Amino acid sequence: MSERESMEFDVLIVGAGPSGLAAAIRLKQLSPEATVCVVEKGSEVGAHILSGAVLEPRALDELIPDWREDPPELATPASEDAFLFLTESKAYKLPTPPQMHNHGNYVVSLGNVCRWLGAKAEALGVEIYPGFAASETIIEDGVVKGVVAGVMGITREGEEGPNYQPGMELRARYTLFGEGCRGSLTKKLEALYGLREGVQPQTYGLGIKELWEIPKERHVPGKIWHTTGWPLTTDTYGGTWIYMLGENLVSIGMVVGLDYPNTWLSPFDEMQRFKTHPEIRKILEGGKRIAYGARALNEGGFQSIPKLVFPGGALIGDTAGFLNVPKIKGTHTSMKSGMLAAEAAAKALEAGEAAAPVLEGYPEALRQSWVWEELQGVRNIRPGFAKWGFYGGMINAALETYVFRGKAPWTLAHHADHSATKPADPAKKIAYPKPDGKLTFDRLSSVFLSNTNHEEDQPAHLKLRDPSQWKPVNWDVYRAPESRYCPAGVYEAVGVEEGEPRLVINAQNCVHCKTCDIKDPRQNIDWCTPEGGGGPNYIGGM
C-alpha cells in the first residue's frame, strides 16, 4: 500500500462529542502551547450526535463558567417536569423521582452544543478534522501512538480499490478515545489490553428520536415529560421522553433496553405505536416530523466501567459508559471525564520525557470526583429491572432511592444483552399497525429524514464474521431479529417465500446506531468504521 503522510501532536482526541471537545478545551486552558487535534468521522461536528437531550450544566459550568452569556442555539431552560405511567388509553401522573428533577437544567440540541463547543475549541487553537474516520490504531511496542484516519477505497480483502487513498497517520504522545457508545477502535483496545477484565458486561439501550414542529398553542418551552409502561411489556426495560425546545420544536423518543427477550419485538415500531397514545397524539397532531435518528447508549453504569487507561491512551465519555440511567443524563458525566483525562494529560506533558506512558492520574481523579459518587449511588437501579422485571424493578428503584439512598451493601450484576434473546418459535409474535404517514411512519422514510448517505463505491462497513452462521442461527432459531431491531432497514431477509432465506445488508441505510453489533444473538455482526463523512447528517435541533 502507498506510504502515508503523518502529523504529530501532543494529544490526539478521537471523536468530537461532548467528552472529546471538553477534553480539548480543558487541555488548551491548562497548556496553551500544547498541540491538540480532534478527528471526527461525521461530515461536520455534530453531524452524528444524537440525544434527547436535557443538559445538566454542572460540568459545563466548571469548563466555561460564563457560558450562559453566549449559549448554544436552542438551549431552553427546563420548566414543567412530569413522570407518567401509561396504559394503552390512559396516563397516570407519578411522583417524579429525585434523580429526574430538572430545575436548573436545559433542554438542548446536543448536536448544537457540540458545534458550539467545537467553535470554542478552535478559538483556543485546537485543530478539528471532520470527515476523518479513525480506522486503525497505531500501536508500537505495546504503546498507542495515534490513529490512521481518512483511509478510503480498501476492499473487503484489504486490497487497494480504484479510489484508494492511504489516509494519514495522526501521531501523538497521548490519544484519548471518545468514540461514543460501542466504539469500533475501543472494542479492539479493550480486547488487546484486557480493559474489561474483572468488570460487569456493558448493557445497552437503543434510543430512537424524532424532531417535530408543532402548533404554537401546544408548545410550552422547556416542558419535560418522561413516561414508562405502555407500549412496552413488563419484561422489557424502557421509557420515552417529550422535550420542548426552541421555537415550536418537540424532541420525542423512546429508549428500549437491548436485553429484551422477545425476538419479534421491533423498537422502531414500538416508538411509532407510542405516538398513537391519546395524550401523545394531542401534542403531535397538526404538526410535522422534520428529523429522525437512532443511537445505542451505554446503560451499565458504575459496575461496567472498564479500565480507563493503557500505554499511550485513555477512554473518555460514553465509549467508557458514564450514563446515569435513572437520571437519563450522561452529557455532564462524559464531559467531566474528558476534562479529568485532559488534566492528567496536561500534567504528563508538563513532566516532559520523564512522564509515564500511562495516564494513571486520570482514573484516580475520576474516583475522587462527583462522577464516581453519582454513578455509584444509582448502580443497582438498572440491573434491578433486568433481575425482577418492571414492577420488581420499580420497587427496587424506590428502595434504592428512598431507603438505602444509594448505599445498599450489595451491587447487582449485569448480563450481556444478546444472551437475553429467546428463540422465535415459543415467543409471542407482535402485530404492529401499518404506518399512516402522518403520525406514524416506515423505516425508509425515516432514514431519509436522517440525511444518511454512504458513497456507493465504498466497501460495506457491516460484516458477518461467519456468513455461514446466519441461516442456522439467525434465521432458523431467531427468525432474523436484525430485520426488526435495526431502526434503519439495513438488514433484510429475502427468499423466504421460496424457502431459501438469505440475508441482504443495505449498508447505505446505516445510521451508525451500533445496535447490530450489540444485539446479534451470536455476536456475528461486526460494525466497522466506514469511510469518513458517511452516515447520518443530523440537522440542528437533533
- Give residue-wise pLDDT tens across range 25-64: 999 999 999 999 999 999 999 999 999 899 999 999 999 9
Same domain, 385 and 467: no
Q: What is the mean pLDDT of residues 162-176?
A: 85
**pLDDT for 353:** 85
**pLDDT for 1:** 43
Same domain, 17 and 143: yes
Same domain, 267 and 211: yes
DSSP 367-378: HTSHHHHHHHHT
Residue 267, domain member (yes or no)? yes
The count of domains in the chain is 3
Helix axes 110-123, 18-30, angle to 10 degrees: 20
**pLDDT for 153:** 55
**Of 203, 240, 516, 529, which one is the catalytic site residue?**
516
Burial class (CB in 10 A: 0-12, 13-18, 19+), 17: buried
**Of 203, 273, 510, 529, which one is the catalytic site residue?**
510
Q: What are the residues whose beta carbons fall under 8 Å from the beta carbon of 395, sequence distance 6 or more?
A: 388
**Of 37, 114, 181, 486, which one is the catalytic site residue?**
486
Residue 1, domain member (yes or no)? no
Measured between alpha carbons, how far is 146 from 172 in angstroms, rounded to an integer?
5
- The model carries a pTM of 0.96
Range of the domain at 224: 76-108+203-300+419-527
Same domain, 135 and 270: no
Measured between alpha carbons, how far is 369 from 142 in angstroms, rounded to an integer?
30
Same domain, 402 and 438: no
Same domain, 351 and 221: no
Residue 520, domain member (yes or no)? yes
Asked whether the predicted pLDDT for residue 398 surpasses 60, the reply is yes
Same domain, 39 and 138: yes
Q: Looking at 89-103, 157-171, 363-377, 390-404, which range is the least confident one?
A: 157-171
Same domain, 40 and 118: yes
Asked whether the predicted pLDDT for residue 159 surpasses 60, the reply is no
Residue in 370, 368, 392, 393 with CA at minimum distance from that of residue 382: 393
516 assigned to active site: yes
Residue 536, domain member (yes or no)? no
- What mean pLDDT is reported for the chain? 95
Query: Which residues on adjacent β-strands are paired with residue 297?
Result: 205
Q: What is the mean pLDDT of residues 335-340?
A: 98
Same domain, 321 and 438: no
- Quick check: 14 and 147 in contact, CB under 8 A? yes
**Of 19, 240, 266, 331, which one is the catalytic site residue?**
331
**pLDDT for 375:** 98
**pLDDT for 314:** 98
User: 297 pLDDT band (50/70/90 cuts)?
Assistant: very high
User: 163 pLDDT band (50/70/90 cuts)?
Assistant: low
**pLDDT for 524:** 98
Measured between alpha carbons, how far is 456 from 450 in angstroms, rounded to an integer?
17
Same domain, 373 and 391: no
Query: Which residues on adjacent β-strands are paired with residue 493?
Result: 503
Asked whether the predicted pLDDT for residue 194 surpasses 60, the reply is yes
Q: What is the mean pLDDT of residues 473-488?
A: 98
Cell 501512538 found at: 145
Residue 535, domain member (yes or no)? no
CATH number of the domain enclosing 99: 3.30.9.90
**pLDDT for 247:** 87
Residue 92, domain member (yes or no)? yes
Measured between alpha carbons, how far is 237 from 89 in angstroms, rounded to an integer?
20
Residue 539, domain member (yes or no)? no
Residue 533, domain member (yes or no)? no
Highest-pLDDT range among 54-68, 165-179, 455-469:
54-68
C-alpha cell of residue 73 = 442555539
Same domain, 339 and 210: no
Asked whether the predicted pLDDT for residue 158 surpasses 60, the reply is no
Give tens-digit pLDDT for 11-26.
999 999 999 999 999 9
**pLDDT for 155:** 52
Same domain, 503 and 397: no
**Of 31, 51, 175, 184, which one is the catalytic site residue?**
51
Give tens-digit pLDDT for 75-129.
999 999 999 999 999 999 999 999 999 999 999 999 999 999 999 999 999 999 9
Measured between alpha carbons, how far is 207 from 296 in angstroms, rounded to an integer?
6
Reported in sequence order, the residue ranges of 166-287 that DSSP labels E, i.e. its strands, are 168-177, 204-213, 224-229, 238-245, 249-257
C-alpha cell of residue 261 = 427477550
51 assigned to active site: yes
Query: 394, 412, 430 — which closes off a domain?
Result: 412
Of the chain, the percentage scoring pLDDT greater than 90 comes to 91
**Of 43, 421, 513, 529, which one is the catalytic site residue?**
513
Measured between alpha carbons, how far is 188 from 196 in angstroms, rounded to an integer?
11
User: 162 pLDDT band (50/70/90 cuts)?
Assistant: low
528 assigned to active site: no
User: 298 pLDDT band (50/70/90 cuts)?
Assistant: very high
